[in-house]
Chain A
């Protein structure tokens, strides 16, 4: 594992990411309210909930991407291996090199496939063999065989599913510890979705994955733990099987059985 802890920090449980009473507001409106959650390492954690419940906002809180929105205030704590991500002297750029993100709509750069994967490591000061890194990342993203002969082609020339795998490869190239995924399959067709879901199961051996999804079947198929959010509040968090078969809260049950949302 990468040694990156300063002395004195103690992980909470075996959680790699956690939040304590996290509240995120856009202006006066609280999108995330008093959420306390531990994300275990090397697992896939799904965050589900109806539209507008704050799941994307919660996700973005973990890699400081909320910083780019106007009028955002963050209260409470978001922790990475016990370190407060929002401490005054924390550099968000460093945060994002350790906690990567894949977006809902695939957004490869309008550059070659090689450039897409190689750029971020290059600007981060990677001193090793870029070509090898690109190949490794593309293999891990199950894309290498399809693109190995056309690394110079534009990333935009790929199909939707391939583009998303390219984005995953791009995120992996930085060797993050955590990959945050914001509805990564919602813009894809079922076949591509299935392929990427298989990919998640492979990836969790090396990375921790947090995936926001509105597709409950996907959460049930793929994740180890599931958190259910509604209107900014964390209603329930538990082992996926339990959440979907014997949830503790009524609201959770209503949601997973399709009564609302």
Chain B
């Protein structure tokens, strides 16, 4: 049967070629990211592995590269993240539950939503300035790990809220309806059914938010985390340093050896992040096996 356009429409081969070319271009664009990641990792590994010894993890920083270590920074980070988790989890989860389960669609709640979206996109250094004025000065907490944790909590709060809300939203409404129809109050329903169902997603989101916090440097610089610290914190009011600060410090030095130290520090930092992300993935995997709607 002949079609009015002819057995093959005139410009199809050209369009096909264009399509093939673009397919390659799009693929290349995507692979660019992969390639860059590979180069970055290779670079860090190449420079950092020679410096990665057990003594590196257990020594304090020093003017002499051979003796410098990351112990203070590692413990500082652990303290920081622990306290940050303590503050940000209840507040972030609470806000998400309110916004998702209780709030009605009025102008005020829409304002809160837009506000959270804006805060999520606010530069971290601005949070540092907030922390400086509010926690270090006004609350007189000084340059303590507590001030740092409170600042970090505010920083990751928007991300925590947004991720938790998504997990809550993913719980099918039929579950809530079933519970309500059985004469349950809203909180009873949330506690018994919505939260447990949303928990894996919430945990995953929290871990990812915390792993973002681990890598943040600018706010800590603003609130005065020290760059040369030869002790580990023993309480929330102690001064501290953190992994990214130490890395920054070493990377800013002009001497070449410190680049290797910085790379080793990066490896430790990436190791911590990898562990956290693996935990998040494991949780997601476990939960997907158990729950089927």
Are chains A and B touching directly in their complex (CB below 8 angstroms)?
yes
Query: B residues touching A (Cβ–Cβ < 8 Å)?
Result: 105, 172, 174-175, 177-185, 188, 192-193, 197, 291-293
- In the complex, the chain A residue whose C-beta lies closest to that of B171 is A110
In whole angstroms, how far apart are the Cα atoms of A152 and B45 in the complex? 51
In the complex, the chain B residue whose C-beta lies closest to that of A120 is B182
The stretch of A13-21, A98-106, A136-144, A241-249 in contact with B is A98-106
15 contacts between A and B (CB under 8 A): A68-B180, A93-B184, A96-B181, A96-B182, A105-B174, A107-B175, A107-B177, A109-B193, A110-B291, A120-B179, A120-B182, A123-B188, A123-B192, A167-B178, A170-B178
Q: Identify which of B174, B184, B185, B188 contacts A103 (C-beta below 8 A).
A: B174
Q: A70-B105, A110-B197 are in contact. Are A65 and B177 (CB under 8 A)?
A: yes
Complex Cα distance, B174 from A156, in Å, reads: 13
B178 touches A97 (CB 8 A): no
Q: Would you call A185 an interface residue if the criterion is a C-beta within 8 Å of the partner chain's C-beta atoms?
A: no
Chain A residues lying within 8 Å of B175, measured Cβ to Cβ, are 107, 109-110
CB–CB B174/A170 < 8 A = no
Set of chain A residues within 8 Å of B172, measured between Cβ atoms: 107
Interchain CB contact (< 8 A) of B184 among A110, A120, A156:
A120
Chain A 55-98 residues near chain B, CB threshold 8 A:
63, 65, 68, 70, 93-97
* New contact pairs (13) apart from A96-B180, A107-B178, A108-B178, CB-CB < 8 Å: A65-B181, A68-B177, A70-B105, A96-B181, A107-B175, A107-B177, A109-B175, A110-B197, A119-B182, A119-B192, A120-B182, A123-B188, A171-B182
Q: Closest approach, in angstroms, between the C-beta of B256 and any C-beta of chain A?
A: 58
**Inter-chain contacts of B292 with A (CB < 8 A):** 110, 156
Hey, which chain B residues are within 8 Å of A100, CB to CB? 181-182
> Is A124 at the interface (CB under 8 A from chain B)?
yes
| Bound-state Cα–Cα, A105 to B173, Å | 12
Number of interface residues of A (CB under 8 A): 26
Chain B CB within 8 A of A174 CB: yes
User: What's the Cα separation between A94 and B188 when bound, in Å?
Assistant: 14
Contact present for A103 and B182 (CB under 8 Å) = no
Give chain A interface residues in 159-176, CB to chain B under 8 Å.
Answer: 167, 170-171, 174
Contact status A174-B192, CB under 8 Å: no
Residues of B within 8 Å of A167, CB to CB, are 178
B188–chain A nearest beta-carbon distance, Å: 5
A124:B291 contact, CB within 8 angstroms: no
Chain A to chain B: the 3 pairs with minimum beta-carbon distance, closest first: A97-B183, A120-B182, A101-B181
State the CA gap A177–B77 with chains docked (Å).
Answer: 60
User: In chain A, what residue has the closest Cβ to B197?
Assistant: A110
Contact of A94 among B174, B183, B192, B291 (CB under 8 A): B183
Nearest B residue to A123, CB-CB: B188
